[in-house]
Amino acid sequence: MTLKQPTSADYTGTSYHNVDITTTPSDLIELCEELDIEYQSNNTGEDKVNFDFDFYVPERDLYFTVYDWKEYQPLRLNNSYEFHIGAKDQYSSFEAKEILTEFLIG
């Protein structure tokens, strides 16, 4: 399974379907840096989102986003938080969670 930076052609509309993943910002950042995937960081607590990660799995044509939601405080990089998973539907969200968990554990 391949996890990579999405291109503009890979983007599809995503929504939150009540699927979360518990992890640290540090683990997500390290994964992105290891795979050369860009991410958005504005860890000030002044907005609804501090971190926003976009992923694409070409084998499944699966685009998904991972982001914290309404913490309204800077996140501690080594603390665990619930991150929302955004995808086109709930099934894709669960699939994304499973794939991302494998990458974070492995």
The pair of structure tokens assigned to 51 is: 């971190």
* Each residue's pLDDT tens digit, 54-101: 999 999 999 999 999 999 999 999 999 999 999 999 999 999 999 999
Residue 10 confidence (pLDDT) above 90: no
* pTM recorded for the entire structure: 0.95
Token look-up 């958005």 returns: 40
| Contact by Cβ (8 Å): 70, 48 | yes
Of all helices (H) and strands (E), which one includes residue 95? helix 90-105
- 14 secondary structure, DSSP code: -
Euclidean distance between CA atoms 86 and 54, whole angstroms: 9
Euclidean distance between CA atoms 6 and 21, whole angstroms: 20
- Which one, of 28, 21, 18, lies nearest residue 50 by Cα? 28
Q: What is the mean pLDDT of residues 38-60?
A: 97
CA dihedral of residues 28, 29, 33, 36 (deg, nearest 10): 60
11 band by pLDDT with thresholds 50, 70 and 90: confident
